[in-house]
Amino acid sequence: KLPPIRGDVTFDSIVFEYEKDRPALKGISLDVKAGQSIALVGHTGSGKSTIINLLCRFYDPVQGRVLVDGQDIRDVTIESLRSQVGIVLQDTFIFSGTIRDNIRFGRLDATDEEVEEAAKAVRAHDFIMSLPDGYDTEVQERGNVLSMGQRQLLSFARALLADPRILILDEATASIDTETELRIQEALKTLLQGRTSFIIAHRLSTIRHADTIVVLDHGRIVEQGNHDEL
Ligand code: ATP
Ligand code: MG
């Protein structure tokens, strides 16, 4: 079992292939200190999602190791790993139920106060209160009561409430207006505070704020540094 972690992550000489002799990662080494935010960028097929897949142990590397706080993640239970690694996916998952249930997903023990606190922290509270039944408003999985930006903020509130030490974020590519964009950036700052994060970044503003930008190309890291350095 993985004890409560700080959130140091190391990719140690990772080679991975989905299909024999077609490596998707060709020797990835990356050292991330707890609390740092990493923006993963690169063309389609460069290996961004694959890195995330290995960190979540959806797959194991063919060569090399992924370490969390110095421990090989193959040596801990998948449950204990995933309880400390949170994911916010691009197509924000909203299920049919109330707003409250959607935020509480993954932390079923959370009180109403905790749900609202999380929503306030990511600035989702005001739009939730403007809905007909506030936190008790029913939303549909494929419904359009919520805008893309609102869905994003809800998923941030959910992630904040779950409070994982390591957060993975596959940033939405959908275009949103400038004001929503600003709110999301603010919320993101709050969400990332004090966690290690890996962001598959599509927005320039996100990339600019990352501690380290990792540029992938054909399964290799070709550049690494902060926005000023690159
Ligand atoms: P995108 O920006 O399109 O999401 P990405 O950087 O996330 O791209 P990956 O999905 O990590 O790229 O893909 C890396 C390589 O692995 C690509 O050559 C891709 O075709 C291949 N690949 C990804 N997933 C699979 C899979 N499930 N089965 C076989 N090959 C895969
Ligand atoms: Mg991808």
For the Cβ of 46 lying below 6 angstroms from any atom of ligand 1, the answer is yes
Flag whether pLDDT at 211 surpasses 90: yes
Name the residue of 50, 52, 62, 171 whose CB sits within 8 Å of the most ligand 1 atoms, as the mutation to test its pocket: 50
Q: What is the mean pLDDT of the chain?
A: 92
**Options 3.40.50.300, 1.10.645.10, 3.20.20.120, 2.60.130.10; CATH of 9-84+164-225:** 3.40.50.300
Q: What was the pLDDT predicted at 178?
A: 82
pLDDT at 209 over 80: yes
Q: Which two tokens stand for residue 225?
A: 């540094």
Model pLDDT, residue 44: 93
* pLDDT, position 2: 81
Confidence of residue 149 (pLDDT cuts 50, 70, 90): confident
What ranges in the chain are assigned the alpha helix state H?
48-55, 78-82, 99-104, 112-121, 125-129, 148-162, 178-192, 204-209
- Contact of 14 with 29, CB cutoff 8 Å: yes
Annotated domain spans of the chain: 9-84+164-225, 96-145+153-159
SS3 content of the chain, % helix, strand, coil (to 5): 35, 30, 40
Question: What's residue 23's pLDDT?
Answer: 96
Q: What tokens does 38 get?
A: 């990493």
d(CA 125, CA 226): 33
List, for residues 82-112, the tens digit of each pLDDT value: 889 998 887 778 889 999 999 999 888 999 9
Q: How far is the CA of 142 from the centre of ligand 2 (A)?
A: 23
